[in-house]
A and B are shown apart, each in its own frame.
Chain A
Amino acid sequence: MIDQDFHPERTKNETFTQEEYMEMKRDLLKPIQHIGIWGKVWIGFLLAVIFAGVYAYYLQETKSKYVTVSLRDYTMWGVYISNFVFFIALSMIGVLMSAVLKLTNNEWYRPLARIAEVVALGAICFAGISIVVAMGRPDRLHYLFMYPRLQSPITWDIIVVITYVVASMLLLYIPMIPSLSTCRNHLSNMPKWQMKMYEWLSFGWEGNPEQWKLLRKGVKILTIMIIPLGVAIQTVDAWLFATTLRPEWDSTNFSGYFISGAFLLATAAMIVATFVIRKAYNLEKYLTELHFDKLGQAMVLMSSIYIFFNINEYLVPAYKMSSMHANHLLDMFIGDGALMYWLVVIFGLFTPAILPLFPALRKPVPLFIIALIAVIAHWFKRYLIVIPGQLHNYLPIQDVPESWTHYFPSAVELTIVAATFAGMLLIITLFSRFFPIISVWEVAEGKLEGKDEIINYK
Chain B
Amino acid sequence: MKNIIKTLIFVCLYLSSGMVIAQDKTADMSINFVKADDKDACQVTITSNNKPVAEVAVKLYVKRLFGNLSIGNEVSTDENGIATFEFPNDIPLNAEGKLLVLAKVEDDENYGSMEVEANSTIGAKVNLTQLELENRSISGTNAPYYFIAGSLVIFAGIWGAIIYVVLLVFKIKKAGTQSI
What is the CB-to-nearest-CB distance from A44 to chain B, in angstroms, rounded to a whole number? 35
Number of chain B residues close to chain A: CB under 8 A: 28
Most buried by A among B139, B143, B165, B179: B165
* Residues in B whose Cβ lies below 8 Å from that of A208: 175-176, 179
For residue A225, CB closer than 8 A to chain B, the reply is: yes
Measured in the bound complex, the distance between the Cα atoms of B178 and A210 in whole Å is 10
Q: Please state if A204 and B173 are interface contacts (CB–CB under 8 Å).
A: yes
Q: Please state if B138 and A151 are interface contacts (CB–CB under 8 Å).
A: yes
For residue A215, CB closer than 8 A to chain B, the reply is: yes
For residue A76, CB closer than 8 A to chain B, the reply is: no
Q: Please state if A214 and B175 are interface contacts (CB–CB under 8 Å).
A: yes
Q: In the complex, what residue of chain B is closest to A217 when comparing beta carbons?
A: B168
Which of B147, B148, B151, B165 is A170 in contact with, Cβ under 8 Å?
B165
Instruction: Give 1 or 0 for each of B166-178: 1 = CB within 8 Å of chain A CB.
Output: 1011011111111
Q: In the complex, what residue of chain B is closest to A181 when comparing beta carbons?
A: B176
For residue B10, CB closer than 8 A to chain A, the reply is: no
For residue B161, CB closer than 8 A to chain A, the reply is: yes
Q: In the complex, what residue of chain A is closest to B180 when comparing beta carbons?
A: A206
What is the CB-to-nearest-CB distance from B14 to chain A, in angstroms, rounded to a whole number? 49
Q: Please state if B162 and A211 are interface contacts (CB–CB under 8 Å).
A: no
Q: In the complex, what residue of chain A is closest to B150 when comparing beta carbons?
A: A150
Q: Please state if B147 and A177 are interface contacts (CB–CB under 8 Å).
A: no
Q: In the complex, what residue of chain A is closest to B137 when comparing beta carbons?
A: A151
* Residues in A whose Cβ lies below 8 Å from that of B140: 151
Q: Please state if A149 and B141 are interface contacts (CB–CB under 8 Å).
A: yes
Measured in the bound complex, the distance between the Cα atoms of B131 and A271 in whole Å is 57
What is the CB-to-nearest-CB distance from A166 to chain B, in angstroms, rounded to a whole number? 6
For residue A315, CB closer than 8 A to chain B, the reply is: no
Q: Please state if A225 and B158 are interface contacts (CB–CB under 8 Å).
A: yes
Q: Please state if B169 and A218 are interface contacts (CB–CB under 8 Å).
A: yes
For residue A203, CB closer than 8 A to chain B, the reply is: yes
What is the CB-to-nearest-CB distance from A375 to chain B, in angstroms, rounded to a whole number? 30
Which of A149, A151, A166, A174 is B169 in contact with, Cβ under 8 Å?
A174
Instruction: Give 1 or 0 for each of B152-167: 1 = CB within 8 Å of chain A CB.
Output: 0001001101101110
Q: Please state if B172 and A177 are interface contacts (CB–CB under 8 Å).
A: yes
Q: Please state if B172 and A203 are interface contacts (CB–CB under 8 Å).
A: yes
Q: In the complex, what residue of chain A is closest to B179 when comparing beta carbons?
A: A208
Interface residues of A in 143-187 (CB under 8 A from B): 149-151, 159, 163, 166-167, 170, 173-174, 177
Q: In the complex, what residue of chain B is closest to A207 when comparing beta carbons?
A: B176
Q: Please state if A211 and B165 are interface contacts (CB–CB under 8 Å).
A: no
B contact face: mostly helix, strand, loop, or mixed: helix
Interface residues of A in 205-223 (CB under 8 A from B): 205-206, 208, 210-211, 214-215, 217-218, 221-222
Measured in the bound complex, the distance between the Cα atoms of B176 and A135 in whole Å is 47
For residue A120, CB closer than 8 A to chain B, the reply is: no
Q: In the complex, what residue of chain B is closest to A216 when comparing beta carbons?
A: B168
For residue A119, CB closer than 8 A to chain B, the reply is: no
Q: Knowing A208-B175, A221-B161 are in contact, say whether A203-B148 is a contact too (CB < 8 A).
A: no
* Residues in A whose Cβ lies below 8 Å from that of B155: 159
Measured in the bound complex, the distance between the Cα atoms of B23 and A179 in whole Å is 98
Measured in the bound complex, the distance between the Cα atoms of B172 and A218 in whole Å is 10
Q: Knowing A150-B151, A174-B169 are in contact, say whether A211-B176 is a contact too (CB < 8 A).
A: yes
Which of A151, A170, A174, A217 is B143 in contact with, Cβ under 8 Å?
A151
Instruction: Give 1 or 0 for each of A212-249: 1 = CB within 8 Å of chain B CB.
Output: 00110110011001000100000000000000000000
Q: Please state if A221 and B172 are interface contacts (CB–CB under 8 Å).
A: no
Q: In the complex, what residue of chain A is closest to B177 when comparing beta carbons?
A: A204
Q: Please state if A211 and B161 are interface contacts (CB–CB under 8 Å).
A: no
Q: In the complex, what residue of chain B is closest to A166 when comparing beta carbons?
A: B162
* Residues in A whose Cβ lies below 8 Å from that of B173: 203-204
Measured in the bound complex, the distance between the Cα atoms of B63 and A65 in whole Å is 42
* Residues in A whose Cβ lies below 8 Å from that of B151: 150
* Residues in A whose Cβ lies below 8 Å from that of B147: 150-151
Q: Knowing A150-B147, A204-B173, A215-B172 are in contact, say whether A210-B179 is a contact too (CB < 8 A).
A: yes
Measured in the bound complex, the distance between the Cα atoms of B174 and A205 in whole Å is 9
Which of B143, B148, B176 is A206 in contact with, Cβ under 8 Å?
B176
* Residues in B whose Cβ lies below 8 Å from that of A177: 169, 172
Which of B143, B165, B168, B172 is A205 in contact with, Cβ under 8 Å?
B172
Q: Please state if A163 and B162 are interface contacts (CB–CB under 8 Å).
A: yes
Instruction: Give 1 or 0 for each of A130-151: 1 = CB within 8 Å of chain B CB.
Output: 0000000000000000000111
What is the CB-to-nearest-CB distance from A446 to chain B, in angstroms, rounded to a whole number? 22
What is the CB-to-nearest-CB distance from A220 to chain B, in angstroms, rounded to a whole number? 10
What is the CB-to-nearest-CB distance from A199 to chain B, in angstroms, rounded to a whole number? 12
Measured in the bound complex, the distance between the Cα atoms of B169 and A173 in whole Å is 10
What is the CB-to-nearest-CB distance from A197 to chain B, in angstroms, rounded to a whole number? 16
What is the CB-to-nearest-CB distance from A269 to chain B, in angstroms, rounded to a whole number? 25
* Residues in A whose Cβ lies below 8 Å from that of B139: 151
* Residues in A whose Cβ lies below 8 Å from that of B168: 214-215, 217-218, 221
Which of B166, B172, B180 is A211 in contact with, Cβ under 8 Å?
B172
> Can you name 6 A-B residue pairings with CB atoms under 8 Å?
A163-B158, A170-B162, A170-B165, A215-B172, A218-B169, A225-B162
Closest 4 CB pairs of A and B: A204-B176, A210-B175, A218-B168, A204-B173
Known: A203-B172, A203-B176. 16 other contacts (CB 8 A): A149-B141, A151-B143, A159-B155, A163-B158, A163-B162, A170-B162, A170-B166, A204-B176, A205-B172, A210-B178, A210-B179, A214-B175, A215-B172, A218-B169, A221-B164, A221-B165
